[in-house]
């Protein structure tokens, strides 16, 4: 490993204008420099280099990033090689770190301790669920979802007490230190987010929650997901363990240690959206199931799944969020060469409610009737646009092209082109022309140099990775101010961002930026941070960092953050109103739901005044 301090030293010694000018002639344009982009063919220069931010960005093809990114793309080498090349030019010696025996033993000891901690914590949470008087509402909840005590034992479900330090005391009595609990994500130090209710020492991360252990492929518990039980509880519906030496959210599939044998036998996987959906299906005999730790697949999860199955059936909720999650999962799955189908649930149903209400056969029938992803998307988009108008056809074509351009299998691509063309009344040639005009997907290692490939501008690169999907406007706006203004960044860090952002699409990227150790004005540290990101994320964030700043960034941060809080509250309000109208809901429960709606309305009014 190249030490982070060395990477920052190399970045500081490598002026981006000087480096790029050694490969591409630059011309000054005010406070920046410009050139025709070396990564795609263009007649007017749209490639811009900003010396103050030490970044480059092409506003034609979208590539951008740090000096390291430019070298990796232009010379076609990886990130460490780019660091070494620039270090040699700057005369900086590279002393790469490697684990010696003592360090290796230390790292192994940390892993063993954290695995032991999580195993014992799992047993402790489960004993609480079984025996604690205070866990009765957790047991009642499981009973309402049709999950017996035997199922809870099989999946090691548990209950986290409604206490700020119960887990801390239990761990201390069993020989685990505060530092180990923090490292494993079970305890939050007060200085992590400024919270803790006045408790100087910090507090348990999971409080009054139903606990779902997250295991790796071999069944070792490496993290937890805690579901809220109290309607007036603070925080999101689910709180997950933070990343740790043993847990990386984007590399784990929930339930895989239980379903791997069935996946190998069936050669296809049913992808559920949540833990309870998966457990209900598995216990009903449908065992080739798994779930991502979020609402869409990462590249690592897709590659992991490919080892067990060649085809997936996405079985997300029938609402718009579920359908969007299916779309977001497509790029990673196609990149892993996995076939994708989509099973639709009846309105208002999910796999859990369908199996409990109509039986496993009803769910199996939905899986068997699952459509090819592109058939599903064509039907869904056809209902969203007026195909009797030229504008509607154009919008439909552009939207469907975002997915079709990801296909690298020529036979499958031609089949989809024929379907779309027939639906629109276009010739296949016209739709292919639209695909050629779309930006070429780029791999994580950057875009190939078109000068040596002979491809035309915009023509997809063979076997290229899918394009990065930008976060929604509210997240993009907050990303921009957090990259451009230190005061706005500090204000965001003072908010409960860790608990809020996991409830918003794209929030994970904002959390990553907020956790990064750099000051906005420190171009060197920012360049080093961006250079270590996946290519598409680096390009997106570079574009935000180089964009025209807001006149009042702190006010913008406050306004958009309150908008996110408002959005979450409105979604909760809608859910509560739906619950009130469920047949069979007791009068007492309706009163409780109405009280929560009133409380939400009060909070919404407070936000509106702000």
Residue 455's pLDDT is 35
Instruction: Tabulate helix, strand, coil % of the chain (nearest 5).
Output: 55, 10, 35
> Which is higher by pLDDT, 460 or 600?
600
Residue 461's pLDDT is 40
> Which is higher by pLDDT, 82 or 143?
143
Query: Per-residue confidence at 108, pLDDT binned at 50, 70, 90?
Result: low
Does residue 597 have a pLDDT over 90?
A: no
Residue 230's pLDDT is 80
Query: Per-residue confidence at 196, pLDDT binned at 50, 70, 90?
Result: very low
Burial class (CB in 10 A: 0-12, 13-18, 19+), 325: buried
Share of the chain above pLDDT 90, in %: 31
Which of 102-111, 233-242, 243-252, 278-287 is predicted most confidently? 278-287
Which of 6-15, 19-28, 278-287, 488-497 is predicted most confidently? 278-287
How many other C-beta atoms can be found within 10 angstroms of the C-beta atom of residue 100?
9
Query: Per-residue confidence at 107, pLDDT binned at 50, 70, 90?
Result: low
Structural domains for the chain: 4-90 (3.90.580.10), 101-247 (3.90.980.10), 253-369 (3.40.1360.10), 379-444 (1.20.50), 473-609 (1.10.860)
Does residue 105 have a pLDDT over 70?
A: no
> What average pLDDT does the segment 191-208 reach?
69
Residue 309's pLDDT is 86
Which of 156-165, 418-427, 556-565 is predicted most confidently? 156-165
Angle in degrees, 0-180, between the axes of helices 486-493 and 553-580, rounded to the nearest 10? 30
> What average pLDDT does the segment 70-99 reach?
79
3-state secondary structure of 69: helix
Under DSSP, the state recorded for 547 is S
Query: Per-residue confidence at 364, pLDDT binned at 50, 70, 90?
Result: very high
Residues 6+ apart with CB under 8 A from 284: 355, 359, 360, 363
Residues 6+ apart with CB under 8 A from 592: 231
| Segment 17-40, tens digit of pLDDT | 999 988 888 999 988 999 998 888
CA distances from 351 to 221, 273, 321, 347, 411 (A): 25, 9, 15, 11, 33
Q: Compute the mean pLDDT over every residue in the chain, rounded to the nearest whole number.
A: 82
Token output for 478: 């907050």
Beta bridge partners of 238: 227
| Segment 291-333, tens digit of pLDDT | 988 767 888 888 888 877 889 999 877 666 667 777 788 888 8
Residue 193's pLDDT is 52
């Amino acid at each position: 490993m190249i030490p982070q301090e060395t990477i920052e030293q190399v970045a500081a010694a490598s002026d981006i204008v000087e480096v790029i000018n050694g490969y591409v002639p630059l011309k000054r344009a005010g406070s920046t420099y410009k050139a025709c982009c070396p990564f795609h063919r263009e007649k007017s220069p749209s490639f811009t280099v900003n010396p103050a931010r030490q970044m480059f960005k092409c506003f034609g093809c979208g590539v951008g990033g740090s000096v390291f990114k430019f070298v990796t793309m232009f010379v076609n080498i990886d990130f460490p090689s780019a660091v070494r090349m620039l270090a040699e030019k700057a005369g900086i010696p590279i002393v790469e770190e490697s684990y010696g025996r003592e360090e290796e033993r230390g790292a192994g000891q940390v892993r063993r301790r954290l695995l032991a901690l999580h195993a014992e914590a799992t047993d402790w949470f489960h004993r609480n669920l079984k025996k604690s008087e205070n866990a009765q509402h957790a047991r009642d909840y499981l009973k309402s979802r049709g999950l017996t005590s035997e199922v809870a034992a099989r999946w090691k479900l548990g209950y986290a007490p409604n206490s700020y330090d119960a887990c801390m005391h239990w761990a201390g009595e069993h020989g685990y230190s505060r530092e180990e609990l923090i490292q494993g994500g079970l305890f939050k130090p007060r200085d992590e987010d400024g919270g803790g209710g006045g408790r100087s020492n910090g507090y348990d991360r999971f409080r009054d929650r139903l606990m779902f252990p997250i295991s790796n492929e071999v069944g070792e518990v490496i993290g937890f997901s805690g579901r809220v039980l109290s309607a007036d509880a603070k925080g999101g519906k689910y709180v997950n363990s933070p990343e740790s030496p043993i847990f990386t959210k984007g590399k784990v599939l929930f339930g895989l240690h239980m379903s791997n044998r069935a996946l190998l036998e069936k050669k296809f996987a049913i992808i559920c959206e949540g833990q309870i959906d998966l457990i209900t299906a598995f216990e009903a005999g449908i065992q080739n199931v798994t779930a991502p730790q979020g609402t869409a697949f990462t590249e690592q999860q897709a590659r992991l799944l490919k080892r067990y199955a060649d085809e997936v059936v996405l079985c997300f909720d029938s609402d718009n969020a579920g359908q969007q999650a299916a779309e977001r999962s497509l790029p990673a799955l196609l990149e892993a060469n996995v076939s994708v189908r989509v099973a639709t649930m009846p309105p208002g149903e999910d796999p859990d409610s369908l199996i409990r209400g109509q039986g496993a056969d009803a769910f199996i029938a939905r899986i068997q009737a699952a459509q090819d992803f592109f058939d599903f998307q064509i039907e869904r988009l056809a209902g969203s646009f007026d195909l009797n108008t030229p504008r509607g056809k154009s919008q439909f074509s552009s939207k469907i092209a975002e997915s079709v351009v990801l296909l690298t299998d020529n036979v499958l691509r031609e089949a989809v082109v024929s379907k779309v063309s027939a639906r629109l009344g276009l010739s296949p040639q016209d739709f292919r022309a639209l695909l050629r005009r779309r930006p070429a997907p780029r791999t994580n290692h950057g875009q190939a140099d078109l000068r040596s490939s002979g491809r035309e501008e915009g023509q997809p690169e063979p076997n290229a990775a899918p394009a990065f999907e930008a976060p929604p406007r509210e997240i993009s706006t907050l990303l921009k101010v957090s990259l451009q203004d230190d005061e706005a960044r500090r204000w965001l860090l003072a908010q409960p961002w860790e608990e809020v952002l996991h409830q918003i699409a794209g929030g994970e990227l904002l959390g990553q930026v907020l956790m990064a150790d750099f000051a906005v004005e420190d171009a060197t540290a920012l360049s080093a941070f961006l250079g270590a990101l996946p290519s598409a994320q680096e390009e997106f964030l570079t574009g935000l960092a180089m964009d025209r700043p807001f006149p009042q960034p702190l006010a913008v941060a406050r306004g958009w953050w309150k908008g996110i809080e408002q959005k979450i509250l409105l979604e909760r309000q809608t859910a509560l109103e739906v619950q009130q109208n469920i047949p069979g809901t007791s009068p007492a429960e309706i009163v409780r739901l109405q009280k929560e709606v009133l409380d939400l309305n009060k909070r919404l009014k407070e936000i509106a005044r702000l």
